[in-house]
Amino acid sequence: MTDSQIDPQSEHSAGAPSAVRRQGLAIAALIILADQATKWWVLLDVMNPPRVIEVLPFANLVLVWNRGVSFGLFNTASEHGPWILSALAVAVSVVLLIWLLKGPNRWVGWGLGAILGGALGNVIDRMVHGAVVDFVDLHVAGAHWPAFNVADSAITVGAALLILDSLFQRDKSS
């Protein structure tokens, strides 16, 4: 098959790139909605008053105000931090959106949508609260993973999809 022929079964056939774009954007929107809904639920109901709630022997619900990036990285008390991190996240989101609009394959489109939704969900928090609401606390034998939220989970899953796609992508030139 030459490059000029279209394989109707291919993910890159006539309608597939627009379907992947729609799916990626829908995933981003669903993640933003789920992220914001869970954060407001935690703030207004679950953590009112703030406390530690044991859900499983290895998982708690807590209230953590994260002034850094995903999983508490670069957490500082700087008054400019939320604005700098939000500007960076918006810039990265624009790049991801452009990539998504170019019509990647399904796994890449889904991964980009997940990362985009997670990044924008955390930007909303920074703009509204000056910090990101984290509430899931996983731990084993007294060692705690940094608290996280739906947006952080989506970013992680999206990055994993991109990595898996790059590892298992078949050579398209043959």
- Residues with a known catalytic role: 134, 152
**Residue positions counted in the chain:** 174
Strand, coil or helix: 49: coil
Q: 57-95: buried (b, 16+ CB within 10 Å) or exposed (e) per residue? A: eeebbbbbebbbbbbbeebeeeeebbeebbeebeeebee
Rounded to whole angstroms, the Cα distance separating 170 from 174 reads 9
Q: Are 115 and 96 in contact (CB under 8 A)?
A: yes
Strand, coil or helix: 93: helix
